[in-house]
Amino acid sequence: MFLVTDPDRNWGCRINDRILWKGYHAVVLQNELLQIVVLVDKGTEIIQFLYKPLDMDLMWRSFNGLRSAENFNTADGTNASSFFDRWSGGWFEVLPNGGPGTKAAGAPLGTYAETTDVPWQYRILLDSPDEVSVGFWVKTYRTPFLLQKTLTLKSGSPALFIEEKLINAGREAVHFMWGHHPVIGEPFLDEHCRISAPESFVQVFQAEDGPDHRMGLHQESSWPLIKDRNGGLLDLRIVPPKTIQTMDNCYLKDFSNGWISVHHTIKEIGFGIAWDAEVFPYIWLWQAFGGGKGYPWYGRPYCLGIEPWTSYPCAGLGAAMKNQTACQLEPGASMDTWLTAVAIRGGEDVSRISRNGDIEW
């Protein structure tokens, strides 16, 4: 009549949705190589991307840590402070506002609003030793979107497969920014890491993250070489140590294949993402290398954001509408897309990541 599998098995692929993680309902997906922890009540934030053979979690853990959903109350302040009070690191998904708070079509939208930090719904779609899949969905509060996605693990594969659909459930066209914000950090990230990315152009705007930037401002160049703030050459493939105490944001664009990776040349482990470049034609490359002056950083973060986006810069939906990179969905229209995140074994530069998680060196 229907497939029956052992929900308590400890081999192959498995999924556990009976987890309370510091007060948040969590879903844990596993196979022989990966353990993925998803906070259902916190925007389906992926707070763990653990490569089991090395016991290496590739996600960044914020200095604030994950606060109990039941007992933590944020202090009064702006919508930005509310977001940063709750940000515990990891990988969150953003719709429809990328960056600081703004107003669109009369709706006030907070920092990285409005799919982060809110509860999503979910349903286990497949639970077998060969493959597990779970579906998540959320309806945004201040805009008329329905966002659906599935996360899938397959036996023996170090890849997490993501498929998504965005629907405009309103009766008028709506603008939006849409992006994924994975951030990697210690103990994986250090000065022995290198960044690989497709052939593209790099654009730097103003000092978005404060005065301790190492990149020269207001420039565009070919990946991976740009000018530093003193006019010298800066190779963006090289990850500096935290003692450099800098923080920068730049943008990669005009690439035909969407992918980016960071690998450790000594530990021979890495993290990479491939995605649909027609939907996400920009990479936000946020480099927090022991820098960031004042609130909320105080020089504490050492991490790297490798972020596929529909639009840019990190200045809110209003700015993306002004530069015509914001997307628009007509009433009742939808769009489908995909991403694949993979743990990479090897210490060499990557030349491409495919949708099925294969690595080309």
Q: What is the mean pLDDT of residues 312-336?
A: 96
In a domain, 7, yes or no: no
Does 201 score more than 90 pLDDT? yes
The rounded Cα 355 to chain-centroid distance in angstroms is 17
In a domain, 3, yes or no: no
Does 332 score more than 70 pLDDT? yes
Residue 70's pLDDT is: 74
For residue 53, the 8-state DSSP code is G
User: Where residue 86 sits, what CATH number does that domain have?
Assistant: 2.70.98.10
Q: Which of 80-94, 118-132, 166-180 has the lowest mean pLDDT?
A: 80-94
Closest CA to 134 of 147, 153, 115, 158: 153
Residue 2's pLDDT is: 61
| pLDDT tens column, 118-163 | 999 999 999 999 999 999 999 999 999 999 999 999 999 999 999 9
Residue 9's pLDDT is: 83
Residue 4's pLDDT is: 64
How far is the C-alpha of 138 from the C-alpha of 168, rounded, in Å? Answer: 12
In a domain, 4, yes or no: no
Q: What is the mean pLDDT of residues 164-171?
A: 97
Q: Which of 107-116, 171-180, 278-287 has the lowest mean pLDDT?
A: 107-116
In a domain, 113, yes or no: yes
Could you tell me the pLDDT band of residue 68, with boundaries at 50, 70 and 90? confident
Instruction: Using the CB atoms, write b or e for 187-224: b if 16+ within 10 Å.
Output: ebbbeebbbbbbebebbbbebbbeebbbbbeeeebebb
The rounded Cα 148 to chain-centroid distance in angstroms is 16
Residue 277, C-beta contacts closer than 8 angstroms, at least 6 positions apart: 255, 256, 257, 258
- % the chain with pLDDT above 90: 85
Q: Look up the domain containing 155 and give its range.
A: 14-360
For residue 265, the 8-state DSSP code is T
Does 1 score more than 80 pLDDT? no
Residue 326's pLDDT is: 97
In a domain, 9, yes or no: no
Under a CB-based contact definition with an 8 Å cutoff, are residues 254 and 200 in contact?
yes
In a domain, 114, yes or no: yes
In a domain, 220, yes or no: yes
In a domain, 137, yes or no: yes
Residue 10's pLDDT is: 87
How many folded domains does the chain comprise?
1
Tokens (6 digits) for 88 = 């515990």
Pairing of strands 56-57, 45-51: antiparallel
| pLDDT tens column, 215-256 | 999 999 999 999 999 999 999 999 999 999 999 999 999 999
Q: What mean pLDDT is reported for the chain?
A: 94
